[in-house]
Amino acid sequence: MATPGGQDTLQRFFKAWLSYDQLPASLPNVSGFAAVAPDMVKETQTFIQQVVLTGRGGLPELLTASYTTPSQALSSFYDLPAPSADYAKVERPSGRGIGVLAQGSLIAAHSHEAASSPTLRGLLVFERLLCGQRPQVPANVPTLVTASPGVKTTRQRYEEQHMAAGSGCPTCHKLFDPLGFGFEHYDKSGRYREQEMGLPINSASTLTEGKTEIFAFSGLDDLAKNLSTQQKVGLCSSGYLNAYAFANSVACLGETRRAEFASGKLGFIDYYASLAAEPSLTRRK
């Protein structure tokens, strides 16, 4: 793991796990996006390099780091302070995002071309951080109501159609749309916005399991901080890392130090390297 090849291997895990490199080539009505889209992917790679490989950080650091690593062109696109050089560290202003969930590449990759998507963003957290099982899409899914800029916010449209009682939609969408609402201060290109076409944004929501509220959050920063303290998130993340390391969907082959990782005491690179000492690396039933 100290070699460039070993670190590239771990970087490939993050691409597969978070799908942050699946950006559209362009976005309608977003001037300059196509020019900086490659920079977004490079920013996230550099951010992971700093947090995970250089800083030997774990899940809490990945989710709550206060800085990002944009190019100078990208910092202008985001309206963030300019870095001293391309992909140098820049502290984010308070309330303007923390950690990997606020990376523009990740947000844009989980958006629609014409608008943000609480569903896609919520599914990212639901599947990749909480190990939820995506329900099978029914055959009779209605088309989402067309965006109404300046009339209704994205959240209002999604709540009216996805969460309306009697429609059948809430059965599935209540699992992940509320998580996606926490991202609504970020537009389809990953840029922070105070309002949506002049309308106030509500990014407060809750994570629930069944009828139990796990935690409430006031926006993306608060969501990331709460997720970073959940043992379930640590166990889910380490399960994905196990499956990647052993090329096997069985997520419990590397248990010796998994609890340390899940509790935030062990970083990604040290946990991943520790899997080489697991008996299941060479012996399996």
pLDDT at residue 216, as a whole number: 98
Distance between CA atoms of residues 260 and 80, nearest Å: 35
Q: Do 195 and 247 lie in a common domain?
A: no
Q: Half-sphere exposure of 208 toward its Cβ, with a 13 Å CA cutoff?
A: 12
Question: Same domain, yes or no, for 157 and 268?
Answer: no
Residues 111 and 219 in one domain: yes
pLDDT at site 151: 86
Structurally, the chain folds into a number of domains equal to 2
The helix/strand/coil state of 91 is strand
Tokens of 24: 């559209």
Percent pLDDT > 70 in the chain is 97
Q: How confident is the model at residue 164 (pLDDT cuts 50, 70, 90)?
A: confident
* Residues 107 and 70 placed together within one structural domain of the fold: yes
Based on the domain organization, do 213 and 169 belong to the same domain? Answer: yes
DSSP state of 131: -
Are residues 42 and 178 both part of a single domain?
yes
pLDDT of residue 142 exceeding 80: no
- Give the pLDDT confidence of 247-261 residue by residue, as tens digits: 887 657 778 999 999
Query: Do 125 and 249 share a domain, yes or no?
Result: no
What is the rounded CA–CA span in Å between residue 108 and residue 111? 5
Closest CA to 222 of 185, 193, 187: 185
Cβ 232 vs Cβ 132: under 8 Å: no
**What's the rounded Cα separation, in Å, for the pair 196 and 186?**
9
Half-sphere exposure of 239 (CA within 13 A, CB side): 16
Q: Using pLDDT thresholds of 50, 70 and 90, give the confidence band for residue 139.
A: confident
Task: Specify whether 153 is located in the same domain as 217.
Answer: yes
Which residue, of 227, 244, 265, is where some domain finishes? 227
- Please give the pLDDT value at position 171: 82
Distance between CA atoms of residues 102 and 40, nearest Å: 11
pTM for this one?
Answer: 0.94
Are 95 and 13 part of one and the same domain? yes
**Based on the domain organization, do 127 and 210 belong to the same domain?**
yes
What is the domain extent for residue 275?
A: 231-281
